[in-house]
Amino acid sequence: MTKLNVLRYEIRRLISTKQYLYSLLIISLLTYDVLNRLLIGGFKGTAPFSPWSYSEFLALVISVFSVIVILMWINVFSEKEQKVRGIIFSAPITQSRYYLIKGIAIGLAASLILLVIIILSFGYYYLVYGFSDYGTFIMPMVYFICPSFLISLGLGLFIGKINVKILYLLIPLFLVIGLFNLGLPGLLDLTGGSYLFDHFNYLNLEVIEKYTLTKEFLCSRMILIVLGLCLFGIGCRIKQ
């Protein structure tokens, strides 16, 4: 119960910062821009409200979202936060449990940002196209949000524990991978954007209609999810 209160405080601390407010603002503007400018015509000839178009939308937005998660971890390992650790680690709480709480707090605070992205996109589809069959977007969300979210959460903690300065390198990395089509292989294609661009042209009409993704891609997404969880678990256990 008392640890739940700690979690409550951690979430409150995260969402009451200017950084969080700016993050929400930037991601909302990006969502609006991507929907209005890039997806209004649909992804590669599919309808704007097709799962393919929604996947493309998510692949673009999730790179900035991952950067937000990394920025949250940078805060956790900032010098200012480290100074409080002297007091915190004199309390009977293990480092693993403490970072687990921090990770859950970041995960929940970031999920709220995700919720805003999703609500905005659903609202857009409803208002512009009168489209409300949101069930078709569930699989794109699972394939494109979960791996990127978990890998940024795990990588942020793991690298932050080793050296916070390396965390800054992840910011351009996520942006470049997400916003440019680099033709990366599955495991490096953290946002799934390269897959959509490269492989869509080779798909036949039936696959396009059913929103069927290749086994290789699904496998790489699964590996990224497991890797993200493993990095998070190991990151919690690394002693500083």
Partner 1 sequence: MEIKITNLSKAYRGKNYVLKEINLDLKTPALIGLVGPNGAGKTTLMRLLVSQILPSQGEITVDGYNLFKNQHYLKERLGYLPQDFGLYDELTVEQFLDYIACLKGSKANRKKVINDAIGRTNLDGKRRARIKTLSGGQKQRVGIAQAMLNDPELFIVDEPTVGLDPEERIKFRNLFSENASNKIVILSTHIIDDVESICNRLIVMDHGIILYDGTPTELVQKTVNHVAVVELTGAEQMITEGQYRVVSRLVSPTGVRYRLVGDDLPRSSKLITPTLEDAYVYCMMKGGF
- Smaller CB distance to partner 1: residue 5 or 204? 5
Position among 5, 130, 201, 210 found at the interface with partner 1 (CB under 8 A): 5
- Distance (Å, whole) CA 168 – CA 196: 27
- Distance (Å, whole) CA 224 – CA 80: 32
171-185 burial, b at 16+ Cβ within 10 Å, e below that, comes to: eebbeebbeeeeebe
The residue to which tokens 């673009």 are assigned:
60
Is 176 strand, coil or helix? helix
**19 binding partner 1? (CB under 8 A):** no
Position among 21, 88, 166, 230 found at the interface with partner 1 (CB under 8 A): 88
**129 binding partner 1? (CB under 8 A):** no
**102 binding partner 1? (CB under 8 A):** no
Position among 24, 26, 38, 93 found at the interface with partner 1 (CB under 8 A): 93
- Distance (Å, whole) CA 2 – CA 141: 34
**15 binding partner 1? (CB under 8 A):** no
Alpha helices in the chain, H assignment, sequence order: 2-15, 18-33, 51-76, 79-88, 95-129, 138-144, 146-162, 164-179, 193-200, 205-210, 215-237
* C-beta of residue 64 within 8 angstroms of C-beta of residue 57: no
**111 binding partner 1? (CB under 8 A):** no
Q: How many residues bind partner 1 (CB under 8 A)?
A: 22
68-87 residues in contact with partner 1 (CB under 8 A) are 80-84, 86-87
- Smaller CB distance to partner 1: residue 83 or 215? 83
Least distance CB 239 / partner 1 (angstroms):
10
Is the Cα dihedral 18, 23, 24, 26 positive or negative?
positive
Residues in the chain, overall count: 240
Least distance CB 18 / partner 1 (angstroms):
10
**201 binding partner 1? (CB under 8 A):** no
**24 binding partner 1? (CB under 8 A):** no
Least distance CB 219 / partner 1 (angstroms):
41
- Smaller CB distance to partner 1: residue 9 or 129? 9
**205 binding partner 1? (CB under 8 A):** no
Residues that bind partner 1 (CB under 8 A): 1-3, 5-6, 9, 13, 16-17, 80-84, 86-93
